[in-house]
């Protein structure tokens, strides 16, 4: 398609109008750059949020005790609803749609936790053994809490990677004992990775212990802050959540419609909302990116129109010497293709470089991950841009090819 003479003519044309060609090419490159960058940044946020949501069971509902705001059966408002671990055992026995259930209650009076001369303040969280089926905690070394730990009130703990780094400084923590309120607790497991999440309550500096031990050592009445219930496959989490709330409302004597008495977080429903939000954001980013691309295409069309007008006499001479209209149209189109292709790939390379930099800077940011360039989208955009640039060059070239040689030679 591109002969040596054609390359030479395109080069001479670009060389004669450096600034104009550069500005046009910049518009095209900027369009590709913005489209790819916006879409990839949006994808990075989507990947991060999805990763956070994937860190725990999706068919889950969480509950927190609150205070009543609606009078109920003669009882005043303002009553505090204090849940206990025993409630969860009874709930699972009565509501068969529940697959897993566990409290997660932070010990507020644990104080400084130490190992040898190293110490720190950490979140001490009381859970059931099935908590690992609710929050997908990956055990790197040792084991997770088991039913015997609960039954025998064992003083055992599972620690996070951050706690290991700060207390043990590279020493193997499995089998070692840490001090909590003057008592020794044996480390039986190490979580493989940081469990900090946006929408869940796993903490990066958390120590987990059996609920029964927590009740015996720290909270004799067994009160818990909140709990999570995961429903069986095929069960509707929202419907099951209503059943759980009604069960607790009956036990603690509050109106089931009182939203302040018991706070409920439906993970499945909120995941759907987040998905819809990102779909809307994706459409918005596509609109912005495509609008920027259109600006680049208009720029190519303008420069081709100006180029054809400036070369009208040249076109007349070519026609007088026997050049056919198709060769004139082809020359202009090829120049448009060269400008859009080179500029498009330049914009793609710049976007890839910026995304690589962003990716390296945000490695530790949990809500922004893997903002890779979608090559299918990038190359599709470049192809569309090249075709649009060719079309933008075709229209003025076709008009010029219809001018008679005499009129073209007279053109000023």
Per DSSP, the three-state class of 241 is: helix
- Residues in the chain with pLDDT < 50? 195-203
User: Domain extents for the chain?
Assistant: 4-53+272-410, 67-99+228-260, 105-224
Helices 375-402 and 312-320, interaxial angle, to 10°?
A: 70
Q: How confident is the model at residue 198, as a pLDDT?
A: 41
Strand residues in 302-398 grouped as ranges (E): none
Element of type H or E holding 223: strand 223-224
d(CA 248, CA 244): 6
Q: How confident is the model at residue 46, as a pLDDT?
A: 66
Q: How confident is the model at residue 250, as a pLDDT?
A: 92
Task: Tell me which DSSP letter residue 76 carries.
Answer: P
CB-based contacts of 13-18 (< 8 A; 24+ apart in sequence) = 13/307, 13/335, 14/335, 14/338, 14/339, 17/303, 17/307
Q: How confident is the model at residue 411, as a pLDDT?
A: 55
Please tell me the pTM assigned to this model: 0.61
Task: Tell me how crowded residue 1 is: count the other CB atoms within 10 A of its CB.
Answer: 7
Q: How confident is the model at residue 193, as a pLDDT?
A: 67
Q: Strand pairing of 183-191 and 177-180?
A: antiparallel
Angle, vertex CA 165, rays to CA 162 and CA 170, nearest 5 = 150
Integer-rounded Cα Rg, in Å, for the chain is 34
DSSP per-residue string spanning 117-167: TEEE--EEEEE-GGGGGTB-PPEEEE----HHHHHTT--EEEE-HHHHHHH
For 330, list phi and psi in degrees, rounded to 5: -60, -40
Task: Tell me which DSSP letter residue 184 carries.
Answer: E
């Amino acid at each position: 398609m591109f002969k040596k003479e054609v390359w030479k003519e395109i080069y001479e044309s670009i060389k004669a109008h450096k600034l104009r060609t550069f500005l046009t090419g910049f518009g095209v490159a900027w369009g590709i750059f913005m489209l790819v960058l916006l879409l990839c940044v949006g994808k990075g946020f989507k990947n991060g949020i999805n990763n956070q949501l994937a860190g725990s069971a999706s068919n889950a509902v969480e509950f927190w005790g609150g205070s009543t705001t609606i009078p109920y059966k003669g009882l005043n408002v303002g009553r505090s609803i204090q849940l206990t671990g025993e409630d969860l055992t009874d709930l699972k026995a009565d509501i068969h749609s529940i697959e897993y259930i566990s409290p997660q209650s932070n010990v507020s009076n644990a104080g400084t936790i130490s190992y040898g001369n190293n110490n720190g303040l950490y979140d001490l969280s009381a859970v059931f053994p099935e908590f690992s089926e609710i929050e997908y905690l990956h055990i790197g070394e040792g084991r997770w809490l088991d039913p015997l730990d609960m039954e025998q009130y064992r003083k055992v703990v599972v620690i996070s990677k951050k706690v290991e780094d700060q207390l043990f400084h590279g020493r193997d923590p499995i089998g070692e004992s840490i001090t909590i309120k003057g008592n020794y607790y044996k480390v039986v497991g190490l979580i493989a990775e940081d469990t900090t999440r946006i929408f869940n309550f796993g903490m990066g500096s958390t120590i987990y212990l059996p609920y029964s031990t927590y009740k015996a050592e720290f909270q004799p009445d067994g009160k818990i802050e909140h709990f999570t219930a995961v429903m069986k496959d095929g069960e509707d989490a929202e419907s099951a959540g209503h059943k759980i709330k009604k069960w607790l409302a009956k036990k603690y004597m509050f109106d089931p419609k009182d939203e302040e008495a018991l706070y409920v977080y439906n993970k499945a429903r909120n995941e759907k909302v987040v998905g819809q939000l990102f779909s809307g954001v994706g459409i918005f980013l596509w609109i912005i990116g495509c609008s920027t691309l259109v600006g680049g295409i208009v720029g190519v069309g303008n420069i081709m129109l100006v180029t054809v007008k400036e070369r009208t006499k040249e076109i007349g001479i070519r026609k007088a010497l026997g050049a056919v209209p198709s060769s004139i149209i082809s020359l202009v189109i090829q120049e448009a293709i060269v400008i859009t292709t080179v500029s498009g790939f330049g914009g793609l390379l710049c976007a890839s470089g910026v995304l690589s930099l962003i990716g390296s800077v945000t490695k530790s940011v949990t809500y922004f991950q893997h903002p890779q360039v979608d090559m299918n989208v990038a190359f599709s955009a470049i192809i569309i841009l090249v075709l649009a640039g060719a079309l933008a060059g075709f229209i003025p070239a076709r008009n010029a090819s219809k001018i008679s040689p005499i009129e073209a030679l007279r053109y000023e």
